[in-house]
Each structure stands twice: as structure tokens, then as C-alpha cells.
Amino acid sequence: MKLSIKERVKRDKELLGDFKKGLTCNELTKRYKISRQRIFQIIDSTSTNSLAEIKKVRKENQKVRHVLKAAKISDSKALRMLLVQTRAVNIHSLAKHLKTNVTCLSYLRKKYNIVDASKYTKERVVQCLQHLCHIGEPLTSGHLQASHRALYNFAIKFFGNYERALEEAGVLFEPAIGRRFKKRKHTEKSFIQIIQSLYNKGEDISSCATSRKYPYLHTLSRRFYHLESIISKKPVWEIAITKAGLDYNIIRKR
């Protein structure tokens, strides 16, 4: 089907815009039903800039498009917000999580003028620890020192010790820091956080299951709620579950 002059001009402008956005030649041939050679002829005749300059813009947009596709995000505004929220996260860890490459992410951080991840503040350390917990990365001190040395050092600097940094991030639970976890002095707040973390992970936290797998949790529950249990005539573990904001009847039936 032959196009009129106006329709052809409109198509050529759209094709040039799509080419700059980073669409591949295969995608363009399917969309406009023309050959690859004709695509470059149209670009050369339509654009006022040289082909080298157009390809440079195209390459930059392809990086954005690649990250958008990997992160399953529809627009660049949402992508920028994601990069701002994860600015405290190590770029290699973020690239691994998004299944993209470091080059694209470093380019986007420079493009959007996002502060380098190595410049940590208290808030960024907390955000980073929460993100690592979310993507399932081990939070043992040994692993963090090996893979995220700067983050570990700033956690010590701002919070005094690594366990307190984890507590501030709200990710204190046994698998996070291993055997050392049992030796620390617990507060009622940290005890409730452990129960909530185990529940969010989908573990069975009924009285019977926890007494076998996490016996020290029952010891802590007796320490904090023994007197309340005597007054209310309720089991200690039921009080602990209720304090964590969970429904004891649902958990008991698991």
C-alpha cells in the first residue's frame, strides 16, 4: 500500500524517534514493514544530525531501555525513583538483583545525578541492609565484610557494632547473623522483631514448632511475659504472638 507524502513524512519522523529510543532494527522492520537498508536510508535523509551522533543517543537510550526491561518498569520516572531508593546499595549487588549489567546502572546513576553509593549516611546504611535482606543475601558479618566492605565499615562507624545496625534496620533474626545472635542481650523490641521476621519468612511459629527449632525464643518469652501470663491466665507464647501483632488462633492451627 502506497503512502501519501504527508503520511510518509509522519512515518519517517516516527521511525527516527523509535530508532533514537533504542528499538532494534528487527523491531523497526516488523513495525514499519520495510527493510533494514531502507531504515538507514530514511534516518540519513530525515535527520539533521550525523548518523554517528544519532547512534550515540540511541546507545544511551538502549541502556535505559535495557534496565527498564530488566526491572519490569514502564517509564523512566519510576526507574529514577528506584535508583534513588537504592542509591545506598552496592551497584554490583543491585545489578545482580535486577539481572542487568553494571555499565548501564553506573551510566544511569550519572545521568540522574544520584550520589555515589560509597557516600553512606545512617539512613542509607539502614536502607542498604533492608534491601540485602529483601533480595535474600546472607547478612552474616563475614559475608558482608567480604562482599560489601564499605557498608560494613560505615555500619560499625554509625551504630557502634554490626548487630545494633541490623536492629535499627529491623532485620534481626537468627539466620541473619548466625550463632553470635543467641549470645547478645535481647530487648522486648528485638524479641518481637524476631517473631515477625520468622512469620514473614513463612516459618511455622506455633508453640510446638518453635520449642523444637528455636528453644531460646521460649526462654525469652518467659523472661518478658511470665508475670503477665500469671495475671491474665494465658500461655506465655500466646501473649508473645499477640504482642507481635499476629493472630494466635491462626498460628496455632498451622
- Report the chain (254 residues): mean pLDDT per 10 consecutive residues: 76 83 81 84 79 78 75 74 69 75 77 64 83 75 77 86 82 47 65 85 82 77 80 84 85 70
The residue segments making up the domain with residue 74 are 55-117
Residues 200, 253 share a domain: yes
Count of domains forming the chain = 4
Do residues 42 and 85 share a domain? no
One domain, residues 43 and 67: no
Indicate if 108 and 124 belong to the same structural domain.
no
Q: What backbone torsions phi and psi does residue 48 show, to the nearest 5 degrees?
A: -85, -20
Examine the domain organization and report whether 236 and 214 are in the same domain: yes
Answer yes or no: pTM beyond 0.75.
no
Report pLDDT for 185.
64
Picking from 117, 132, 160, the residue at the C-terminal end of a domain is 117
Residue 199: the pLDDT is 85
Same domain, 201 and 229: yes
Mark whether 143 and 208 lie in a shared domain: no
Residues 165 and 204 in one domain: no
> Looking at the structure, do residues 172 and 111 belong to the same domain, yes or no?
no
3-state secondary structure labels for all residues of the chain = CCCCHHHHHHHHHHHHHHHHHCCCHHHHHHHHCCCHHHHHHHHHHHCCCCHHHHHHHHHHHHHHHHHHHHHCCCCHHHHHHHHHHCCCCCHHHHHHHHCCCHHHHHHHHHHCCCCCCCCCCHHHHHHHHHHHHHCCCCCCHHHHHHHCHHHHHHHHHHHCCHHHHHHHHCCCCHHHHCCHHHHCCCCHHHHHHHHHHHHHCCCCCCHHHHHHHCHHHHHHHHHHHHHHHHHHCCCHHHHHHHHCCCCHHHHHCC
| Nine cell digits for residue 209 | 514448632
Residues 128 and 146 grouped into a single domain: yes
One domain for residues 189 and 254: yes
Residues 41, 59 within the same domain: no
Q: Give the pLDDT of residue 206.
A: 84
* pLDDT score, position 253: 65
